[in-house]
């Protein structure tokens, strides 16, 4: 066996969950390798896998309707400072999160009820109070909002992954910048196929996001959906006007419930305001569908609807350019992620319903524990 290509534990998938798992395993003192390719330079010609974390803005917050996700959110957010300290990479801004919708909506009322029961700090505003507190809103008539001012705002998923990898390497992990083509178990371990040759591991955690089931060659009951994000480039005056804007969750029927990020600087030197909400699910049945979706650039029709919703919510918004961006999410049937063993030597951690960015550190930790033989009761198969 080539010792340069062998390892005790391997994590396949260099995204948010995989990189977090590698950090946790290496900090526990385990010999671990993180295997996954870097971000593609050009989607249209990229032949490999894609990831939705190639971005600068994802909402982070403690609130969620489901107890599991609230716990995962809180656990991850509490460790943001650890990740910053261990890596030196900043990735989080505490801009707060505004949950808003029709005052009569049950979904809006649920935010107030659950945050009160869970002890999550929230400020309630209605009608003119909402307008006074958030003057950028176009209309607040018969609207109600709950504002999470602490442990909430947005993260850069791209920078979070970078931070996790640096911290993992500093704790002793190896980062192998290659695409995993497949895995096979044998009597002594698991062989991971890559273009430059096999990597041998005693045990493997597969955290490949929407690519996980394709890599394994089996369905685990999750469906990958294509999603479209619309981004709007802002000039200096708009950036200044919206400087105190929080991240927003607009509660309403499917397709009319956009999440909206505040203005965020991007690597291209411009500042962009981003939102998403697809009215119809677009299933991506296989790896070819996923690649074709990302290469397509997303849905202009969905982006048109998002633009209309944005202008309906942000008063007098003036933007300089619009960009349409594809991404993907993975959904199952029980509203919980798939984290646990597939065999004695292979475990998985994926299937996060579009919720994983903010709580990816905890999901990675749970994946690491599953690889070591410990699984939370509610996640057990």
- Inform me whether the pLDDT recorded for 190 exceeds 90: yes
Alpha carbon separation from 110 to 88, 106, 107, 241, 249 (Å, rounded): 38, 6, 5, 31, 13
pLDDT per residue over 340-349, tens digit each?
Answer: 999 999 999 9
Tell which of 311, 331, 351 closes a domain: 331
Do 233 and 267 lie in a common domain?
A: yes
For 206, the 3-state DSSP assignment is strand
Gap between the Cα atoms of 301 and 156, Å rounded: 26
Closest CA to 330 of 303, 347, 349: 349
Look at residue 83 and tell me if it is in a domain.
no
Look at residue 121 and tell me if it is in a domain.
no
Provide the percentage of residues in the chain whose pLDDT is more than 90: 91
Do 227 and 216 lie in a common domain?
A: no
Q: Which residues contact 22 (CB under 8 A, 6 or more apart)?
A: 11, 32, 33, 34, 164, 165, 168, 173, 175, 364
Do 240 and 307 lie in a common domain?
A: yes
User: Which helix (H) or strand (E) covers residue 341, if one does?
Assistant: strand 338-341
Do 310 and 172 lie in a common domain?
A: no
Do 205 and 280 lie in a common domain?
A: no
Look at residue 263 and tell me if it is in a domain.
yes
Task: Indicate the DSSP class of residue 262.
Answer: P
Output the pLDDT for position 381.
Answer: 67
pLDDT per residue over 135-149, tens digit each?
Answer: 999 999 999 999 999
Do 242 and 301 lie in a common domain?
A: yes
253: left (phi over 0), alpha (psi -120 to 50) or beta: beta
Do 54 and 166 lie in a common domain?
A: yes
Gap between the Cα atoms of 94 and 83, Å rounded: 15
Look at residue 95 and tell me if it is in a domain.
no
Do 54 and 165 lie in a common domain?
A: yes
Look at residue 70 and tell me if it is in a domain.
no
Q: Do the Cβ atoms of 91 and 160 come closer than 8 Å?
A: yes
Look at residue 151 and tell me if it is in a domain.
no
Antiparallel, parallel or unpaired: β 153-155 and 143-148: unpaired
Looking at the 3D structure of the chain, how many domains does it have?
Answer: 2
- Inform me whether the pLDDT recorded for 2 exceeds 70: no
Gap between the Cα atoms of 26 and 3, Å rounded: 19
Provide the percentage of residues in the chain whose pLDDT is more than 70: 98
Do 305 and 276 lie in a common domain?
A: yes
Q: Tell which wins on pLDDT, 52 or 131.
A: 131
- Inform me whether the pLDDT recorded for 70 exceeds 80: yes
pLDDT per residue over 244-284, tens digit each?
Answer: 999 999 999 999 999 999 999 999 999 999 999 999 999 99
Q: How confident is the model at residue 1 (pLDDT cuts 50, 70, 90)?
A: very low
Instruction: Round the average pLDDT of the chain to a whole number and report it.
Output: 95
Alpha carbon separation from 351 to 25, 129, 203, 334 (Å, rounded): 21, 39, 21, 11
For 48, the 3-state DSSP assignment is coil
Alpha carbon 70 to chain centroid, angstroms? 15
Do 307 and 178 lie in a common domain?
A: no
Output the pLDDT for position 175.
Answer: 96
Do 214 and 229 lie in a common domain?
A: no
Q: What is the mean pLDDT of residues 166-170?
A: 98
- Inform me whether the pLDDT recorded for 32 exceeds 70: yes
Output the pLDDT for position 50.
Answer: 78
Look at residue 117 and tell me if it is in a domain.
no
- Inform me whether the pLDDT recorded for 161 exceeds 70: yes
Residue 197 phi/psi, 5-degree rounding, is 125, 170
What CATH number is given to the structural domain containing 212? 3.50.50.60
Q: Do the Cβ atoms of 116 and 87 come closer than 8 Å?
A: no
Output the pLDDT for position 254.
Answer: 94
Closest CA to 76 of 353, 376, 365: 365
Output the pLDDT for position 314.
Answer: 98
Look at residue 135 and tell me if it is in a domain.
no
Q: What is the mean pLDDT of residues 68-97?
A: 98
- Radius of gyration, CA atoms only, the chain: 21
Q: How confident is the model at residue 3 (pLDDT cuts 50, 70, 90)?
A: very low
Q: Which residues contact 66 (CB under 8 A, 6 or more apart)?
A: 335
- Inform me whether the pLDDT recorded for 380 exceeds 90: no
Q: At what angle do helices 356-371 and 16-27 cross, to 10 degrees?
A: 50
Task: Print the domain residue range for 264.
Answer: 223-331
Do 349 and 206 lie in a common domain?
A: yes
User: Which helix (H) or strand (E) covers residue 322, if one does?
Assistant: strand 321-331
């Amino acid at each position: 066996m080539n010792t340069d290509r062998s390892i005790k534990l391997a994590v396949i998938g260099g995204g948010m969950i995989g990189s977090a798992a590698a950090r946790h395993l290496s900090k526990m003192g385990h010999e671990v390798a993180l295997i996954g390719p870097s971000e593609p330079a050009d989607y249209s010609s990229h032949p490999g896998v894609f990831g939705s974390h190639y971005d600068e803005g994802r909402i982070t917050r403690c609130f969620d309707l489901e107890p599991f996700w609230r716990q995962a959110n809180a656990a991850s957010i509490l460790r943001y400072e650890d990740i910053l300290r261990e890596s030196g990479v900043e990735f989080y801004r505490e801009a707060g999160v505004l949950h808003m919708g029709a005052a009569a909506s049950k979904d809006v009322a649920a935010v107030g009820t659950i945050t009160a029961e869970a002890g999550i700090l929230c400020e309630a505003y209605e009608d003119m109070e909402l307008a006074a507190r958030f003057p950028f809103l176009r209309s607040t008539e018969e609207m109600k909002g709950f504002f999470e001012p602490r442990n909430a705002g947005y993260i850069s998923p791209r920078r979070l992954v970078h931070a996790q990898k640096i911290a993992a390497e500093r704790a002793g992990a190896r980062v192998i910048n290659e695409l995993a083509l497949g895995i096979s178990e044998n009597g002594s371990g698991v062989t991971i196929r890559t273009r430059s040759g096999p990597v041998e591991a005693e045990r493997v955690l597969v955290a490949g996001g929407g690519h996980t089931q394709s890599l394994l060659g089996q369905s685990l009951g999750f469906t990958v959906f294509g999603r479209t994000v619309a981004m709007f480039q802002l000039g200096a005056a708009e950036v200044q006007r919206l400087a105190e804007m929080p991240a927003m969750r607009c509660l309403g029927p499917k397709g009319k419930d956009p999440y909206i990020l505040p203005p965020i600087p991007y690597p291209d030197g411009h500042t962009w305001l981003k939102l998403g909400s697809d009215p119809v699910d677009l299933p991506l049945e296989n790896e070819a569908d996923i690649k074709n979706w990302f290469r397509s650039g997303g849905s202009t029709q969905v982006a048109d609807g998002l633009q209309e919703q944005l202008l309906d919510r942000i008063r007098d918004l003036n933007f300089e350019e619009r960009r349409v961006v594809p991404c993907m999410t993975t959904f199952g049937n029980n509203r919980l992620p798939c984290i646990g063993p597939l065999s004695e030597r292979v475990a998985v951690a994926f299937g996060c319903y579009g919720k994983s960015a903010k709580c990816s550190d905890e999901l990675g930790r749970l994946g690491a524990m599953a690889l070591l033989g410990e699984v939370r009761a509610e996640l057990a198969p």
